């Protein structure tokens, strides 16, 4: 508009959007009333007179400001509720969230699931720190030498510099089988439960074969078994360590069963 030339505007016959989206336009019109032709004949889409809106421009501005803060409050509240929900879900299903995070990271890197004959290891062993000596010096050694298995375990195969979650996930997906040494100490281990939950998700979502072996070294009542194990109970191979049983035949039977469970099928 050129004020020096006395330019005027004739909006006759047009209907106005009198919502807050047009707030700046109405503010301009309230300042330049002398430039508007037939202002009293103009109507809003909702039926109100444009002159009424312009005549109460301060009230109109306050109403729009109130609407803005109301909308902002609703959006903030919704974001807060979503954040609380996601935080609670992540805390309750930490292992599941970590599993999908690892899957996404490997997908971005272009890593593909391995075929049966491409696994780096035959078996990955999860155990409690309290059972370290028995697992490494007896179980792993016997499985490597007598059963000729490529055994993967924390102390030997975790890569320095990678996070514990990356190492666990890598060992799971690079191993044909996964053996859990279940003891009372293992059930109290946070990492042990994470490994079991991540493994359960790998089995359910990535593999069709039954690739979990559960070795009960201690007597564990069914009521104390972790929920992650109960959910895949019918897909796992369960073995019981004979312990201090004086009958050496029971130990031979145990190793024969383990050899059968770990055989490439």
What CATH number should be reported for the domain holding residue 246?
3.40.50.10140
- Same domain, yes or no, for 180 and 62? no
- Same domain, yes or no, for 73 and 128? no
Residues 6+ apart with CB under 8 A from 203: 210, 211, 212, 232, 235
- The residue-averaged pLDDT of 180-204 equals 74
Is the pLDDT at 123 greater than 90? The verdict is yes
Give CA angle at 216 (145, 256), nearest 5°. 40
Residue 38 lies in a domain: yes
Is the pLDDT at 61 greater than 50? The verdict is yes
- Same domain, yes or no, for 47 and 152? no
For the chain, give the mean pLDDT. 76
Residue 75 lies in a domain: yes
Is the pLDDT at 4 greater than 50? The verdict is no
Residue 122 lies in a domain: yes
- Same domain, yes or no, for 165 and 77? no
- Same domain, yes or no, for 39 and 148? no
Residue 145 lies in a domain: yes
Which range has highest mean pLDDT (17-21, 145-149, 186-190)?
145-149
Least confident of 65-69, 98-102, 113-117, 130-134: 113-117
Please report the pLDDT score of residue 219 as a whole number: 87
Q: Dihedrals φ, ψ of 93, to 5°?
A: -120, 50
- Same domain, yes or no, for 68 and 128? no
Residue 96 lies in a domain: no
Q: 36 and 16 in contact (C-beta within 8 Å)?
A: no
Q: Which of 54, 89, 124 is the last residue of a domain?
A: 89
147 burial class (0-12, 13-18, 19+ CB within 10 angstroms)?
Answer: middle
Q: Is 112 left (phi over 0), alpha (psi -120 to 50) or beta?
A: beta
Please report the pLDDT score of residue 1 as a whole number: 43
Q: Which residue's structure tokens are 């060992």?
A: 171
- Same domain, yes or no, for 62 and 120? no
Is the pLDDT at 166 greater than 70? The verdict is yes
Residue 104 lies in a domain: no
Instruction: Report the number of distinct structural domains present in the chain.
Output: 2
Q: Dihedrals φ, ψ of 179, to 5°?
A: -110, 130
- The residue-averaged pLDDT of 138-159 equals 91
Please report the pLDDT score of residue 226 as a whole number: 74
Residue 157 lies in a domain: yes
- Same domain, yes or no, for 235 and 160? yes
Q: Which domain holds residue 175?
A: 116-262
Is the pLDDT at 213 greater than 70? The verdict is yes
Is the pLDDT at 152 greater than 50? The verdict is yes
User: What is the share, in percent, of the chain residues with pLDDT greater than 90?
Assistant: 18
Round to whole Å and give the CA distance between 160 and 127.
Answer: 19
């Amino acid at each position: 508009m050129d004020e020096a030339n006395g330019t005027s505007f004739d909006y006759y016959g047009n209907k106005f959007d009198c919502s807050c989206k047009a707030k700046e336009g109405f503010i301009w019109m309230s300042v330049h009333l002398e430039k508007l032709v037939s202002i009293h004949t103009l109507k809003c889409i909702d039926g109100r007179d444009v002159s009424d809106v312009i005549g109460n421009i301060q009230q109109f501005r306050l109403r729009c400001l109130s609407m803005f803060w109301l909308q902002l409050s609703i959006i903030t509240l919704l974001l807060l509720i979503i954040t609380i929900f996601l935080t609670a879900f992540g805390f309750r299903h930490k292992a599941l969230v970590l599993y999908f995070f690892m899957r996404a990271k490997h997908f971005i890197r272009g890593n593909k699931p391995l075929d049966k004959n491409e696994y780096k290891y035959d078996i990955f062993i999860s155990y409690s720190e309290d059972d370290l000596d028995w697992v490494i010096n007896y179980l792993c050694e016997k499985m490597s030498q007598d059963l000729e298995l490529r055994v993967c375990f924390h102390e030997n195969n975790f890569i320095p510099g990678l996070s514990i979650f990356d190492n666990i996930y890598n060992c799971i997906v690079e191993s044909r089988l996964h053996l859990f040494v279940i003891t009372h100490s293992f059930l109290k281990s946070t990492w042990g439960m994470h490994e079991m939950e991540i493994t359960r998700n790998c089995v359910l979502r990535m593999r069709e074969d039954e690739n979990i072996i559960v070795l009960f070294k201690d007597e564990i009542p069914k009521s104390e078994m972790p929920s992650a194990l109960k959910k895949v109970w019918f897909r796992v191979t369960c073995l019981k360590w004979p312990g201090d049983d004086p009958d050496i035949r029971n130990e031979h039977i145990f190793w024969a069963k383990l050899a059968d469970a770990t055989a490439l099928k």
